[in-house]
Each structure stands twice: as structure tokens, then as C-alpha cells.
Chain A
Amino acid sequence: MRSEASWGLKLAALGGLLFLHLPILLIFLYAFTTEERSYAFPPPGYTTEWFAVAWNREDIWPPLWLSLKVAAISTVMAMILGTLAAAAMARARFFGRDQVTLLILLPIALPGVITGMSLRSAFGVLDIPFSTWTIVLGHATFCIVIVYNNAIARMRRLSGGILEASADLGANAFQTFRHVLLPNLGSALLAGGMLAFALSFDEVIVTTFTAGQQSTLPIWMLNELVRPRQRPVTNVVAIVVFAATFVPILIAYYLTRGGSETAGMGK
């Protein structure tokens, strides 16, 4: 085997990466365009006024708060449930273990429309009215696996010896958790939480089924995409949504880099 890649391969690989990244950059350009009616390229002029217009738009703030609230609650719930599941599954061998793994993975393995439609059916059958909590119910369910994947990878790397050493030195189970397990898991859990937050903040497919008349920021954006009103404002919101997901992803990457569990393998 040659140790140097052929030019064709290099070109194809680099082209593929560019294909993945260039479209996102375009959003930034369009947020500054002076053209309001169409997606004309190149933009006829540049302006920063849309940021001020977006800031003053009353209808953007409530969806933004709702999205932040839902993402925060879902992340906390997913972190608790995902860590518990990982702690149970990391070492134990028990009957039905594979089935439990499948159950944890299922919410992201099946298309979102199925999760959404299922929850919608359940709310219908049980006469549950739509609220913030119906959105959280869906989000926490598919965020569990994100935290679980990060936590279980770290636990597998952790030597069982340090837990035994802690017990030998007289610590009880809760002290071991607090002083030994948690510091070792910390960055993996934080990374999982970051990714869960990013996933929840941006989620639109399941949310449209569980939100009823409420509007999260992605739903607001979807409505603007289907029936555009002020296109440049949508561009500004797109940048905000992008940043709100991009920053947690980068942090998660730096928290787990170098390990076998580098964030994101699980999505």
C-alpha cells in the first residue's frame, strides 16, 4: 500500500468536506443582505440593521425562552436518567440486557416522525392537553441515549479497582459516588449534557407533534420557512440557533477529546 494518497482521493475527500461546510457559511452572509424579498446572490448590499430588527421583534422572544426552558429541563432529566442507565449497564450482566440497550437506542434509531406521532397518539388516548411538559416528555426521551452513550464509554474506561479501593478505605457507596465516581465522570457527563441541550434546542420534528399551539424557536423558524415574512430576520434567527447548537458541540468535543468516547458518535 502506498503511504501517500492519490490526488483523486485527496480531492474527493476535501471536496466532500467542503460540501459539508460551505452551505452553513452562506447563512452568515445572508444575514447581512439588504435584499428583503428574494434570495438573490450575490447580495446587492450589506447592512447590520437586521440584527436590531430581530432584537425588537416581539414574536421571537417567547419562542426563544420556551426553547431554552425545554432544553434546560430535558437536559437535566436526560442527565439523571442517562447516568443511572449507564451506571447499571456498564458492568452488570443480566437477563434482557440487550433488550434494554435496544430500548434506550430506539428513540433515536427510529425516525422522529414515529416518536412524535406515537406521543401525539398517547396524548390523544389519555386526553393530555399540550403544555411545556408534553414537549419535555418527548425531548428527554431522545436525549437519554446521548448522555447514556457518553457516560457508559467513560465508565468502561474507568478501572473498577478505584471503586474497590474507595470501599476498602472505608467510604460508603454515596461517598464513593461523590468523591470518586463523579469527578471521574464529570467531563463525560457535561459533554453528554451539552450535546443533549444542543439536540433539544434545535429539535423540530418531534416537537411539532407535541407542542400543540405553542411555538419553540425551531417551530417559529419552520413557519417562517414555509410562509416567509421578513426573510433577513429569519437569517438572523438562523445564526442564533446555529450558535446555540454549535458552541455546546465544540465544548463537548474538547471535554472528551482523546478518549474513545469522543462526543457525538452516538447521534
Chain B
Amino acid sequence: MTYPAILPAKGLADRLTGTFWRRPGLLLLLLIAPPLLWLGVVYLGSLAALLLQSFYSIDEFSGVVKEEFTLKTYAELFRAQNLDIIIRTVVMATAVTLACAVLAFPIAYYAARYAKGPWKAAFYLGVMLPLWSSYLVKVYAWKLILAKEGILGWAAEGTHTSWIIDGILSVPFLEGSSLSTSPFGTFLVFVYIWLPYMILPMQAALERVPNSMLEASADLGATQSQTFRTVILPLALPGVIAGSIFTFSLTLGDYIIPQIVGDSSRFIGLTVYQLQGTAGNTPLAAAFAVVPILIMLVYLSLAKRAGAFDAL
């Protein structure tokens, strides 16, 4: 008695398996269709609605949204007060990104080049836990720290260094009754919240720098700092840029932090939130939301040219 080389198809499941085998494209289509439909309809659809809204305008007398195509709303972005908001946000995002890069470097460098075994895991978890743990709780913790009667003020008083805080608070543009109502406080919290996003890609880039290159550099007579400047830094740069995409983009859009810590001067995110909420001016809110998208598109194309996407 002989058995067939191919088992006979029993039932629908077997027949489908045969079809998938003969036409792999069909299986691929069935797999990708649901997530693609979801993201296409919900996400891209929403982005399209955002763009559409941004070309509407609001009737200044009745406050009703006029559903006709106009560039009037975009023109409003160029009013002095609105330009101020955009510039303030971009300056803050730049400052936060630079500070994050400086603070992240030693952590990423140590974790990538020196930490071994359990220390490596500790460093990894030590960056990962603050990254994932509750955003709102972290912001709140800083409210406690920066309050006038909070731990920072208490520590400064105990060590007779209150003059440092007072000094910061008397700098023009950073004034406030305490750090929690000063733009410097806003800056500090931004740096704290987004720092892990800078460390991870930086560490990944540093881990890829081959040891042999550092040895070669030493063999050729370079000092430690020369090796750092001419070998390590250029090779780590894509990682820094990759991290900066996150810190820059996240600061551009955030609206919780300036609301809770700071002098309540407005940033793009906060403006979008207020315009669509209490003000009811959805077209202008939508136009404001398009600004970070445009800035990020420019930023991403620059980052791509610098080779940062390979480091992501």
C-alpha cells in the first residue's frame, strides 16, 4: 500500500493553508489589512481632518466656524503674539535638547563602555523605569520639589545657597516668585522628563563604536581628549541627533508641563489646547497644531541627511 506524498486536505483550514502557500501575497494582505485600515482611517483620517479644519476660519462676531476654504487662519499665526508663542516654544525645545544632550552623555557613555554584568542591567533598568513610569506623577513630583517651601528651597536654606536660586530668579525672562513659577522651572522639568529619550539612542550609538578604533587612535598617539573629540564624538553624533528628535518633538508639543510648572506663558501645545477648548476656535487650534508638524518635517529631513535614522 502506498501513501500519497502530499497529505489530503481535510476541512477548510487545510484548504486555506494550501491557498496561502500558493499565494503568499494573499496571506500578507490579510495580515496587514486590519492594522493598515485602522491607522489609515483613524490616524491619517484624523490628520486630514486637522488639515481641513486649519483651512476653515472663525467668524469674529458670531464665533461660528465658517466651513469655507481660506488662508486667513494661517495668516493669523503671523500676528506678533502668535509668533511669540512659536518662537518661545522653539527656543525652549532647543534649550531642552542641548541640556539633555549634555546630561545624557556621561550616563550613556558609562553604560555603553564601562558598565558590565549586573551594572549594565542596573543602568538599563535605571533609564528604562523613569522613561516609562507615569508622566503626570513625574511632573507632579517636580511641583513638590520646586515649590517655594519644597525640598530644594529647604536644602538651599540649610546649605546657605539660597542666593543661587534667587540669582536665577532675578535673571530677565526667568523671573518668578519661586522656581515652580519661573520659566527656568519649566525648563528643568522638560529636561528631566525627556532625558531618558536622549540616553537610549546615544548609548546604542556609543555601543557600536568599535574598541579597535579607540586603540588605533591611542596607538597613533592621540590623547584621551583627542580621541574623544575626533573619534568618539563624530561616531556618536547620529545617536545624539536621533535622541534630539525625541526631545525636540516632545517639547514642541507638550502642554501639561508649562501649565503646572512655570509662569503660565503660552507654548504651542497649551495654545492648541486652550483654543479648541474654552475659546472654541478649532480652526486656529488646528493651524497651530500644523506648526510642530512642519518644524518636525524640516528637522527630520535634516536628521536623515546626518544619518540619524540608522541609529534609531
CB–CB B149/A253 < 8 A: no
Closest residue of A by beta carbon distance from B149: A40
Quick one: given A20-B130, A87-B31, A125-B52, are A113 and B255 in contact (CB under 8 Å)? yes
**Least distance between B44 CB and chain A CB atoms (Å):** 7
8 Å CB contact of B49 from A17, A125, A246: A125
**Least distance between A55 CB and chain B CB atoms (Å):** 19
A241 to B47, CA, bound (A): 30
Count of residues in B whose CB is under 8 Å from the partner chain: 101
CB–CB A173/B135 < 8 A: no
- B47 surroundings in chain A (CB, below 8 A): 114, 118
A263 to B296, CA, bound (A): 26
**Least distance between A36 CB and chain B CB atoms (Å):** 13
CB–CB A106/B43 < 8 A: yes
Interface status of B272 (Cβ within 8 A of chain A): yes
Most buried by A among B7, B21, B123, B273: B273
Interface status of B45 (Cβ within 8 A of chain A): yes
Interface status of B32 (Cβ within 8 A of chain A): yes
Count of residues in A whose CB is under 8 Å from the partner chain: 93
**Least distance between B259 CB and chain A CB atoms (Å):** 7
> Could you say which of B74-82, B100-108, B160-168, B233-241 contacts chain A?
B100-108
- A264 surroundings in chain B (CB, below 8 A): 128, 131-132
- Which residues 129-164 of B sit at the A interface, judged by CB distance below 8 A? 129-145, 147, 149-151, 153-154
Quick one: given A1-B211, A81-B34, are A117 and B276 in contact (CB under 8 Å)? yes
CB–CB B289/A141 < 8 A: no
CB–CB A137/B42 < 8 A: yes
Quick one: given A41-B151, A114-B292, are A1 and B200 in contact (CB under 8 Å)? no
CB–CB B50/A114 < 8 A: yes
Closest residue of B by beta carbon distance from A238: B137
Interface of B is mostly: helix
A121 to B73, CA, bound (A): 15
Quick one: given A121-B52, A122-B46, are A238 and B140 in contact (CB under 8 Å)? yes
CB–CB A27/B13 < 8 A: no
CB–CB A5/B114 < 8 A: yes
Interface status of A221 (Cβ within 8 A of chain B): yes
8 Å CB contact of A82 from B35, B129, B296: B35
Interface status of A144 (Cβ within 8 A of chain B): yes
- B134 surroundings in chain A (CB, below 8 A): 202, 218, 238, 241-242, 244-246
Interface status of A172 (Cβ within 8 A of chain B): yes
Interface status of B71 (Cβ within 8 A of chain A): no
- B103 surroundings in chain A (CB, below 8 A): 16, 19
Interface status of B254 (Cβ within 8 A of chain A): yes
**Least distance between A203 CB and chain B CB atoms (Å):** 8
8 Å CB contact of B28 from A92, A137, A222: A92
CB–CB B128/A253 < 8 A: yes
**Least distance between A124 CB and chain B CB atoms (Å):** 6
- B153 surroundings in chain A (CB, below 8 A): 41
Interface status of B127 (Cβ within 8 A of chain A): yes
CB–CB A9/B42 < 8 A: no
- B38 surroundings in chain A (CB, below 8 A): 81, 140-141, 144
- A267 surroundings in chain B (CB, below 8 A): 131-132, 197
A-B CB contact pairs (8 Å), 8 listed: A13-B109, A23-B145, A88-B28, A110-B249, A117-B286, A205-B256, A253-B125, A265-B200
| Closest 6 A/B residue pairs (Cβ) | A111-B253, A12-B106, A13-B110, A118-B46, A88-B31, A172-B17
